[in-house]
Structure 1
Amino acid sequence: MSKSFDRFQRRKLITSYFSVTLSISLVLFLLGILGLLVLNTQKLADHFKEQITVTVFLKDAAKQVEIDQLEKRLAMAEYTKSTRFVSKEEAAELHSTEIGENFIDFLGYNPLRNSIDLQLNATFVDSEQIATIAEELSTLSYVEEVSYDQPLIALLTENVKRVSLWILVASAAFTLIAVLLINSSIRLSIYSKRFIIKTMQMVGATKRFIRRPFIWTNIKLGMFGAIIAVGGLAIVLYYFDQYFPELNLTQDILMLGILFASVFALGIVISLISTFFATQRFLNLRTDDLYY
């Protein structure tokens, strides 16, 4: 009978530890995902901004030397990320592929122009700076027109600011929720041992002596939960980097190290504080109140 009871108590204890560790790891994992999003918000915004294309259309009379000079000038400009020359023949092929028929056969000539597709660095992608760049390029005698999607740029800039704000708000709210969830899991775990706490107190054990094993146990659970969460984050980060290599999510090792260390430290700190206050609550309860 005694052995059966011991096995039951052991299973109950293991189940309690497992539930606490699992809840800590899940909450820290989600918090880490949100941290990754916060840290990479600007990188994601820059990635989308750098997809904006400014097209410089050239006059038919433009000489090859002028085109080469313009390409070199654009390549050396601080606002340039990349450039690509598109001949009128290549543009016609692309357009024919898109519409599904050869429009040159219908028209009898190629109305398109030679052009240079310009990708800008993210810091220069806003309506005012692009307008200045376009105006500067338009003054060249061999440039016919500078074209870009102005409404899209304005919308992108506005949405980036809005999304950044909401991500910060969500981060603050989720951090609070994470603390409350972990605190609740630990309090439930200690609640099941409230009679043991009161018994130890009644036989003369000090509050510090009673708290110490509970704090150390839950700190270890917090560490295990944090290790699981960090492992999950590393896996998610690896797969995201495989599918979106252009974002360079694993490039900043220092930033990732700080994030993983923060998740690990958060698991320890929340477990420590939650356990301290949970045990303190039951230590301060009267014996009659333990039943409610």
Structure 2
Amino acid sequence: MSSSFDKFQKRRLISSYFSVVLSVFLVLFLLGILGLFIINSQKLANDFKEKIAMTVFFKNEANDSILKTFGKQLKVAKYAKSNVFVSKEAAAKQHTDIIGEDFMTFLGENPLQNSYDIHLKAEYVEKDSIAKIEKQLRANPMISDIVYDKQLVNMVNDNIKKVSMWILIISGFLTFIAVLLINSSLRLSIHSNRFIIKTMQMVGATKAFIRKPFVMRSIKLGMLGAVLAILALLGVLAYVETSFPDLGILNDKFLIAVVLLAVLGFGILITWLSTYFATQRFLNLRTDDLY
């Protein structure tokens, strides 16, 4: 009879441990996915910003020396990520390929101008920053015009701000749910040992002495759940990198490492705090309230 009861207790204990590890794993996995999405969404947003080109057109009087000097200035300019020189001849060929006929045959001359397509760094693709850069470039007397899609710049920045706000709200909501789920699982685990806690207290054990083994056990379970979540996240990263190599999801290894370490740290912290307060609750209860 005693053996059957011991087996039942052992199965119940294993089931309790399993539920804690599973809760920690699922919650931390979801939070880790959200963290990876956040760091890569910023990268994708920056890549999109840097694809918006600012085209600088030069007057016909601008000779090769002036054009080359301007190109050298762009290479050292802090706002320029990359630049491409488009000669008037190359521009004419592009137009011919697009419209399907040589427009110069009936115009008699090439009306296009030499130009530079400048791709700005993401932090400079802002309304005020671009306006300053445009003003600075227009001070060059050889520049005839500067063209870029102002509406697209404003729309991109507005949408990025909206998306960032919603990501922040969702992150806070998921974190709150994560804390509740892990806390509930650990409280149920501690609840099954409430009589052991009270018995140890009645024979003179201090609160710190009673609390220590429960806290240490929960931290180990939290670490196990966090490690499983990290392994699952690495699997997701490997799958995405293999299936969509153009995304370059593994390029920023430092931020990925930060997210994975945050998952581990959060798993340890939340299990420690939840167990601490759960055991404290039962330690402060009267014996009659345990039933």
**TM tier, smaller:** 0.7 to 0.9
The residue aligned with 1:72 is 72
Taking the TM superposition and a 5 Å limit, the aligned residue runs for 1:164-175 are 164-175=164-175
Aligned to 2:180, the other structure's residue is in SS state helix
C-alpha distance in structure 1 between counterparts of 2:171 and 2:59, whole Å:
52
In structure 1, the gaps of 5 or more residues are: none
Q: Does 1:266 align with 2:266?
A: yes
Aligned to 1:104, the other structure's residue is in SS state coil
Deviation at 1:222, TM superposition (A): 0.8
Aligned to 1:146, the other structure's residue is in SS state strand
Deviation at 1:249, TM superposition (A): 2.0
The residue aligned with 1:104 is 102
Deviation at 1:230, TM superposition (A): 2.6
Taking the TM superposition and a 5 Å limit, the aligned residue runs for 1:213-252 are 213-238=213-238, 242-245=245-248, 248-250=251-253
Q: Does 1:183 align with 2:157?
A: no
Aligned to 1:78, the other structure's residue is in SS state coil
Aligned to 2:51, the other structure's residue is in SS state coil
| 1:47–1:247 Cα contact (<8 Å) kept | no
In structure 2, the gaps of 5 or more residues are: none
Of stretches 77-86 and 109-118 in structure 1, the one that deviates more from structure 2 is: 109-118
Calculate the TM-score normalised by the size of structure 1: 0.79
Deviation at 1:277, TM superposition (A): 1.7
Q: May I ask how many residue pairs the two structures share in their alignment? A: 286
| Corresponding letter in the other structure for 2:187 | R
C-alpha distance in structure 2 between counterparts of 1:11 and 1:107, whole Å:
89
Taking the TM superposition and a 5 Å limit, the aligned residue runs for 1:62-211 are 62-92=62-92, 94-95=94-95, 101-104=99-102, 108=106, 112-201=112-201, 206-211=206-211
C-alpha distance in structure 2 between counterparts of 1:81 and 1:113, whole Å:
23
C-alpha distance in structure 1 between counterparts of 2:44 and 2:197, whole Å:
51
Deviation at 1:278, TM superposition (A): 1.4
Pair 1:138–1:258, CA change in 2 (3 A):
closer
Deviation at 1:21, TM superposition (A): 0.8
Deviation at 1:27, TM superposition (A): 1.7
Pair 1:246–1:32, CA change in 2 (3 A):
closer
C-alpha distance in structure 2 between counterparts of 1:30 and 1:193, whole Å:
30
Pair 1:276–1:113, CA change in 2 (3 A):
same
| Corresponding letter in the other structure for 1:122 | A
C-alpha distance in structure 2 between counterparts of 1:137 and 1:246, whole Å:
35
Pair 1:186–1:96, CA change in 2 (3 A):
farther
| Corresponding letter in the other structure for 2:226 | A
Pair 1:268–1:141, CA change in 2 (3 A):
closer
| 2:237–2:249 Cα contact (<8 Å) kept | no
Deviation at 1:119, TM superposition (A): 0.8
Deviation at 1:95, TM superposition (A): 5.0
Superposed CA offset, 1:49-86 (max 9, x none): 22221011234554333322222222222221111122
Pair 1:30–1:94, CA change in 2 (3 A):
farther
Deviation at 1:217, TM superposition (A): 1.2
Aligned to 1:229, the other structure's residue is in SS state helix
Pair 1:246–1:227, CA change in 2 (3 A):
closer
C-alpha distance in structure 2 between counterparts of 1:96 and 1:204, whole Å:
93
Deviation at 1:180, TM superposition (A): 1.9
The residue aligned with 2:9 is 9
Of stretches 51-60 and 221-230 in structure 1, the one that deviates more from structure 2 is: 51-60
Aligned alpha-carbon RMSD (Å): 3.4
Aligned to 2:46, the other structure's residue is in SS state helix
Deviation at 1:184, TM superposition (A): 0.9
Pair 1:257–1:106, CA change in 2 (3 A):
closer
Superposed CA offset, 1:80-110 (max 9, x none): 111112234544555566x5x5043697456
| 1:237–1:249 Cα contact (<8 Å) kept | no
Superposed CA offset, 1:233-283 (max 9, x none): 344445556442288321xx3x55444333322222211221122123233
* Percent identity (aligned): 52
Aligned to 1:248, the other structure's residue is in SS state coil
| 2:40–2:249 Cα contact (<8 Å) kept | no
